[in-house]
């Protein structure tokens, strides 16, 4: 057991890690392994806990890990707000800016890519210490491991105070007995994560500007460490996170795959529509083989969480599994016009927007009209 030298910075005296992930990628287990790693092999005190919802594949999962020297007690048990290390398991999560909450000059960020090149789907805040990427999904597929172990290896490299052997050991302790057949693949995933992580070329700021050339709001170092809060939330307290009914965009919950629609093959049987849990398919009256019928016009990918059940049921392979990164411009992407997608969608109608509203009736009464 070694005694790790922690690169803690001033204030808290802890080295803090936040994992941003989605259900199915193994972030919860990864957090537990990191916690045990600190105590068993790094000679540190550590704490680890996760927050997650229904644990369904695709739902948001966060992990919080704190390290400190052995002679100190960890008295803080709240979520990590300003991490030393932020680990984004899949780059699609960057679409939700709150994932980057609290990043500052001491924060290093690791982003898991999915093998579709170095294009980052979201924005990276300015003023952070460094940003790294690793092709986590591709490595996981090639080594028959999971994204969590690849990220674990990558984290060890960036943290700098955990040796690769220590991480291998904790992996063996955790998975060796339970899944002995998968151990070798997982160790290989850790090794490749450790060796293949790379710092983003050029300065981080090259990747930072949004569409208007501005850095991410609320994530500049020092200025506003807390990011989202009552002062920065949209008027009305609307939840801007992905998956909320207002934004109606489940795309960050996908793990890299989407159903690709090959319309020429479609026989409009409707099986995909009855299987899909999220109303993705857009059927409308049309013609198929000269007959009037409901036809499959396309998919509303905002609502697709990438479970690929539709691919399994399609009898003619009109839906096939595709890597999302290889289909940036989705053919047959047909947003469902009946559903609210962005707050801009709302039309300001005033108090008498509804014909039956009290204010409308009052106005009519005042105007002498009949109610
Ligand atoms: S299941 Fe396949 S063939 Fe049937 S409507 Fe859906 S895409 Fe078309
Ligand atoms: S993968 Fe298919 S079944 Fe799953 S949410 Fe997307 S469209 Fe629906």
CATH code for the domain of 312: 3.30.70.3270
Within a domain: 370: no
Is pLDDT above 60 for 145? yes
Within a domain: 70: yes
Check pocket membership of 311 for ligand 1, CB cut-off 6 A. no
Q: What is the mean pLDDT of residues 50-77?
A: 83
C-alpha distances out from residue 16 to 12, 52, 149, 352, Å = 9, 19, 19, 51
Claim to verify: residue 160 and residue 87 sit in the same structural domain: yes
Claim to verify: residue 276 and residue 202 sit in the same structural domain: no
Distance CA 69, CA 38 (A): 10
**Atom nearest to 283 CA in ligand 1:** 5
Claim to verify: residue 118 and residue 201 sit in the same structural domain: yes
**Atom nearest to 270 CA in ligand 1:** 5
Claim to verify: residue 183 and residue 273 sit in the same structural domain: no
Distance CA 49, CA 39 (A): 15
Q: pLDDT digit string (tens) for 248-268?
A: 567 767 777 899 999 999 999
Claim to verify: residue 139 and residue 200 sit in the same structural domain: yes
Check pocket membership of 72 for ligand 2, CB cut-off 6 A. no
Within a domain: 291: yes
CATH code for the domain of 108: 3.40.920.10
Claim to verify: residue 201 and residue 269 sit in the same structural domain: no
SS3 annotation, 9-37: CCCCCCEEEEEEEECCCCHHHHHHHHHHH
Claim to verify: residue 304 and residue 178 sit in the same structural domain: no
Within a domain: 244: no
Say how many domains are in the chain.
2
Is pLDDT above 70 for 58? no
* pLDDT score for 54: 61
Burial of 290 (0-12, 13-18, 19+ CB in 10 A): exposed
What is the token pair recorded at 10? Answer: 């001033």
On whether the CB atoms of residues 86 and 63 are closer than 8 A, the answer is no
Distance CA 169, CA 173 (A): 6
Is pLDDT above 70 for 202? no
Within a domain: 336: yes
| pLDDT top residue among 304 and 261 | 261
Claim to verify: residue 46 and residue 175 sit in the same structural domain: yes
Claim to verify: residue 20 and residue 147 sit in the same structural domain: yes
pTM beyond 0.85: no
Check pocket membership of 318 for ligand 1, CB cut-off 6 A. yes
Within a domain: 69: yes
Claim to verify: residue 186 and residue 289 sit in the same structural domain: no
Instruction: Please identify, among 192, 207, 222, the residue that sits at the C-terminal boundary of a domain.
Output: 207
Distance CA 6, CA 18 (A): 16
Check pocket membership of 280 for ligand 1, CB cut-off 6 A. no
Relative orientation angle of helices 180-196 and 164-175, to the nearest 10 degrees: 160
Claim to verify: residue 155 and residue 260 sit in the same structural domain: no
Within a domain: 2: no
Nearest ligand (C-alpha, residue 276): 2
With H, G, I as helix, E, B as strand and everything else as coil, classify residue 155.
Answer: helix
Claim to verify: residue 159 and residue 285 sit in the same structural domain: no
- DSSP-derived secondary structure for 300-365: -GGG-----HHHHH-TTS-EEEEEGGG-SS-TTB---TTS--SGGG-----TT-STT-HHHHHHHH
Check pocket membership of 295 for ligand 1, CB cut-off 6 A. no
Domain around 97? 15-207
């Amino acid at each position: 057991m070694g005694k790790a030298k922690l690169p803690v910075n001033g204030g808290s005296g802890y080295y803090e890690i936040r994992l941003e992930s989605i259900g199915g990628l193994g972030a919860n287990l990864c957090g537990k392994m990191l916690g045990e790693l600190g105590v068993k092999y790094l000679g540190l005190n550590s704490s680890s806990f996760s927050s997650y919802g229904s644990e369904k594949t695709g739902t948001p999962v966060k992990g919080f890990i704190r390290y400190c020297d052995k002679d100190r007690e960890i008295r803080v048990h709240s979520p990590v707000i300003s991490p030393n290390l932020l680990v984004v398991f899949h780059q699609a999560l960057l679409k939700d800016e709150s994932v980057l909450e609290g990043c500052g000059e001491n924060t290093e960020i690791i982003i898991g890519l999915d093998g579709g090149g170095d294009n980052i789907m979201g924005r990276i805040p300015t003023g952070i210490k460094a940003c790294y990427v690793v092709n986590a999904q591709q490595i996981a597929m090639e080594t028959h491991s999971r994204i969590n172990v690849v990220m674990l290896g990558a984290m060890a490299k960036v943290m700098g105070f955990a040796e690769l052997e220590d991480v291998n050991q904790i992996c063996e302790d955790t998975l060796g007995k339970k899944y002995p057949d998968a151990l070798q693949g997982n160790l290989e995933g850790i090794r490749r994560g450790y060796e293949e992580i790379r710092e983003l070329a050029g300065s981080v700021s090259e990747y930072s500007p949004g569409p208007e050339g501005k850095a991410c709001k609320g994530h500049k170092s020092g200025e506003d460490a807390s990011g989202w809060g009552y002062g920065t939330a949209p008027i009305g307290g609307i939840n801007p996170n992905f998956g909320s009914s207002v934004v109606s965009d489940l795309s960050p919950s996908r793990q890299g795959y989407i159903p690709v629609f090959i319309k020429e093959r479609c026989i409009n049987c409707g099986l995909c529509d009855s299987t899909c849990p999220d109303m993705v398919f857009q059927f409308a009256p049309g013609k198929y083989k000269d007959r009037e019928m409901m036809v499959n016009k396309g998919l509303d990918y905002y609502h697709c969480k990438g479970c690929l059940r539709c691919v399994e049921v399609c009898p003619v392979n009109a839906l096939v599994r595709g890597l999302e990164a290889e289909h940036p411009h989705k053919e047959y992407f047909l947003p469902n016009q009946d559903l609210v997608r962005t707050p801009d969608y709302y039309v300001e109608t005033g108090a008498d927007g509804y014909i039956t509203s009290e204010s409308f009736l009052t106005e009519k009464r005042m105007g002498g009209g009949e109610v």
